């Protein structure tokens, strides 16, 4: 009998081309909910506590291996794709040769397969003392899949591939998912698989008969939801998988205390973490390594990538954040753009049409309107007036500037980098600052104002006829000027 806590080795078959994707990218690298498809299989294997995970690569092997590097898996290259049976043998050679483990076979293109389902499959396999258990599903029409053939007592006999199936066999609704758990004899038995079938391929499915020939117990474990194993074979399948995963991810966040005002339009990649009492308005997209703390609100149609939003921060609608950190209680947007290297302290206010890049803004800084802050540090409580530009680029290189604490930068100022503005300094509105400003000083760098009395009457008076036709209010004003 079986021991329930035998080690588990996992083989992920991912060498196929996936021509229906019509893509330069290997099929298994197409992302679904923020992870390449094959990474979902790797994650499931790791969640199961696999001793060793081997990914069989072939088409696009260097790319696939690069995408999974650092995830602790091993790779086995299948130079030519001679069939699933051959892929299995190639992969099995990379497994520890102790011969004491169960082997789980997965595909690299079934991102919807839940770890929980695999846990049940393995538990059933072990409880039944089976030699091989195949995961199956049922569809009204299983065209394209291998069909599960059972004997009169319901025991699994073999799997017949679509190409070799008779009309009666094609009518069978139970199909092979391609996922199996098997005992440690499998690699030895698989060496007996031949390619004598209509496709001339080595079929892993032949393993069932080989096991049965040894008098070993072969069983099927039927899925309740066949969606879990319908692989994403083309772009439509990819979109369908994405939608199902999005619903799953969103439901999990809602259970954990997140408000999604419109789950149908909210897209949260699987890599994102959310605290409690987070509110996501419609159309929000959260991507990559984004971390959202408790009580944060993200406004409608904002896109947040690889960013950290600390407790109580508010991102208003239509903002785009990438590689940014937003301090507790800060508010950003609407229509703000925070680019990589942006670090906002607590209670910072960033208003509409403000762009920041490599900008560290200390607590309480305000930049309410229409500004560009690039390669700059700003001290606490400083006010950045509307239209302020840090001119960080000289046409060849970027330069770093620093603005102190408690500074007041008047509207429509340009700070020509590299610039240092001391603490508590003032910059008058409309200044072009090309010299550093010491602590506590005022800089005014703009043309001196000249006021010319009566200028308008002379100017418009020269155009009196046209003004009369086009600008009636001004015509009356001119007329009154004449009366004086
Ligand atoms: C296979 C099964 C079929 C099952 C179906 C489920 C066989 C003979 N048939 O058929 O019963 O219903 O999966 O989707 O196993 N792969 C390699 N190297 C190869 C061939 C395939 O790594 O030489 C990988 C592919 O990348 C893919 C998986 O194995 O991830 C399945 O290959 P695929 O060609 O899609 O198998 P099917 O013919 O669909
Ligand atoms: Ca397939």
Contact 204, 107 (CB under 8 A): no
The secondary structure element, H or E, covering residue 247 is helix 235-255
30 is catalytic: no
Ligand 1, atom 8, lies closest to the CA of: 203
Tell me the C-alpha distance between 32 and 237, whole Å: 11
Ligand 1, atom 36, lies closest to the CA of: 84
84 C-alpha to center of ligand 1: Å? 5
Tell me the C-alpha distance between 264 and 250, whole Å: 9
Q: Give the pLDDT confidence score for residue 482 in this predicted structure.
A: 75
Ligand 1, atom 22, lies closest to the CA of: 15
Q: Which residues line ligand 1 (CB under 6 A)?
A: 13-16, 56, 58, 78, 81-84, 86-87, 107-109, 145-146, 159, 161, 175-178, 203-205, 231
Tell me the C-alpha distance between 57 and 296, whole Å: 42
Residues in the chain: 484
Helix, strand, or coil here: 422? coil
CB atoms within 10 A of CB 286: 27
204 C-alpha to center of ligand 1: Å? 8
Tell me the C-alpha distance between 269 and 266, whole Å: 10
Ligand 1, atom 25, lies closest to the CA of: 16
What does the block give as tokens for 160? 């017949």
Q: Give the pLDDT confidence score for residue 4 in this predicted structure.
A: 56
Helix, strand, or coil here: 39? helix
Four-point Cα dihedral 142, 143, 148, 153, nearest 10: 60
Catalytic, out of 59, 318, 369, 399: 369
What does the block give as tokens for 229? 């194993």
What does the block give as tokens for 479? 């007329």
Q: Which residues of the chain have pLDDT under 50?
A: 1-2
Q: Which ligand is nearest to the CA of 14?
A: 1
Q: Give the pLDDT confidence score for residue 484 in this predicted structure.
A: 62
Contact 93, 188 (CB under 8 A): no
Q: Which ligand is nearest to the CA of 136?
A: 1
**pLDDT tens per residue across span 72-117:** 999 999 999 999 999 999 999 999 888 889 999 999 999 999 999 9
Q: Give the pLDDT confidence score for residue 1 in this predicted structure.
A: 43
Four-point Cα dihedral 308, 312, 314, 320, nearest 10: 10
Ligand 1 atom closest to Cα of residue 108: 30
Strand partners, 54: 11, 74
Cβ neighbourhood burial of 412 (10 Å; 0-12, 13-18, 19+):
middle
Contact 27, 16 (CB under 8 A): yes
For a ligand 1 pocket test, name from 58, 178, 220 the mutation site with the most ligand atoms within 8 angstroms of its C-beta: 178
Bin 295: left if φ > 0, else alpha if -120 < ψ < 50, else beta: left
Ligand 1 atom closest to Cα of residue 206: 8
Set out the domains of the chain in order of their start, with CATH numbers.
3-229 (3.90.550.10), 258-443 (2.160.10.10), 452-484 (no CATH)
């Amino acid at each position: 009998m079986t021991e329930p806590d035998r080690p588990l080795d996992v083989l992920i078959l991912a060498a196929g081309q996936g021509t229906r994707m019509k893509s330069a990218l290997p099929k298994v690298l197409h992302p679904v909910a923020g992870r390449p498809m094959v990474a979902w299989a790797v994650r499931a294997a790791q969640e199961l506590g696999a001793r060793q995970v081997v990914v069989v690569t072939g088409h696009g092997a260097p790319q696939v291996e690069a995408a999974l590097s650092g995830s602790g898996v091993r790779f086995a290259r299948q130079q030519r794709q001679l069939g699933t049976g051959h892929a299995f043998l190639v992969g099995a050679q990379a497994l520890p040769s102790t011969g004491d483990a169960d082997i789980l076979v997965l595909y690299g293109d079934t991102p919807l397969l839940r770890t929980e389902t695999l846990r049940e499959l393995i538990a059933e396999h072990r409880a039944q003392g089976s030699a091989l258990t195949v995961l199956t599903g049922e569809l009204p029409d299983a065209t394209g899949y291998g069909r599960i053939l059972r004997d009169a007592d319901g025991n699994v006999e073999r799997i017949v591939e679509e190409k070799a199936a008779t009309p009666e066999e094609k009518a069978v609704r139970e199909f092979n998912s391609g996922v199996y758990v098997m005992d440690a004899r499998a690699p030895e038995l698989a060496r007996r698989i031949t390619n004598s079938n209509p496709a001339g391929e080595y079929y892993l499915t032949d393993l069932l008969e080989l096991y049965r020939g040894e008098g070993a117990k072969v069983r099927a474990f039927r899925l309740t939801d066949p969606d879990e194993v319908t692989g994403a074979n083309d772009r439509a399948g990819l979109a369908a998988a994405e939608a199902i995963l999005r619903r799953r991810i969103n439901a999990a966040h809602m259970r954990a205390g997140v408000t999604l005002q419109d789950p149908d339009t909210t897209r949260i990649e699987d890599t994102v973490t959310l605290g409690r009492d987070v509110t996501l308005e419609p159309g929000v997209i959260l991507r990559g390594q984004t971390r959202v703390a408790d009580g944060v609100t993200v406004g409608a149609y904002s896109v947040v990538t690889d960013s950290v939003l600390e407790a109580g921060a508010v991102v208003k609608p239509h903002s785009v954040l990438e590689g940014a950190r937003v301090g507790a209680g800060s508010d950003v947007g609407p229509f703000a753009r925070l680019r990589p290297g942006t670090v906002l302290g607590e209670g910072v206010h960033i208003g509409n049409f403000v762009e920041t890049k490599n900008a560290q803004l200390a607590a309480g800084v305000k930049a309410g309107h229409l500004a560009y802050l690039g390669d700059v540090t700003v001290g606490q409580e400083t006010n950045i007036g509307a239209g302020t530009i840090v001119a960080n680029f000289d046409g060849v290189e970027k330069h770093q500037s620093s603005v102190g604490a408690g500074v007041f930068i008047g509207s429509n100022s340009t700070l020509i980098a590299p610039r240092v503005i001391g603490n508590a300094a003032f910059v008058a509105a409309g200044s072009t600052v090309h010299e550093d400003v010491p602590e506590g000083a005022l800089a005014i760098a703009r043309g001196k104002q000249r006021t010319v009395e009566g200028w308008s009457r002379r100017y418009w008076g020269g155009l009196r006829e046209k003004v009369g036709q086009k600008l009636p209010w001004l015509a009356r004003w001119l007329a009154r000027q004449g009366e004086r």
